[in-house]
Amino acid sequence: MFYFDTKLVEEILFEHRSQGRAIAPYLREPVIHDPELFQQLLRLHRSFDEGELRLATDSQLILVITKLFANHGDQRVYPNSIEDKVKAEKLEIIYVHTGRII
């Protein structure tokens, strides 16, 4: 299991946005079945453990985070404004406590 720093994820997704729109830092599902992404995450984990070059590890991190949220992100809850961000946080709280997606 990976825990990424929220601010880091938001920065990476903003910097690697497509057509002026950033990728939302929210996932559609709590469990993802994506063997190719799993292998990339495993390589990333090993690169941290084995002390690979910082540039290589940073590049892998950017690739994995971008691919994770581009392929499995939930664009419905992307906060475009303060009101949207509050709504997204409420939806997240509902999901965490009930497991329901509204």
Q: pLDDT digit string (tens) for 53-66?
A: 888 888 899 999 98
Domain that holds residue 58: 6-98
pTM above threshold 0.75: no
Could you tell me which residue, 67 or 76, shows the higher pLDDT? Answer: 67
The pLDDT tens digits for 79-95 are 555 555 666 666 666 66
Instruction: Count Cβ atoms below 10 Å from residue 37 Cβ, excluding itself.
Output: 15
Report if residue 1 sits inside a domain.
no
Q: Work out the mean pLDDT of the chain and round it to a whole number.
A: 78
Domain count, the chain: 1
pLDDT level of residue 39 (50, 70, 90 thresholds): very high
63 within some domain: yes
Report whether pLDDT(7) > 90.
Answer: no
* Cα separations in angstroms, 13 against 17, 18, 58, 73, 102: 6, 9, 14, 11, 24
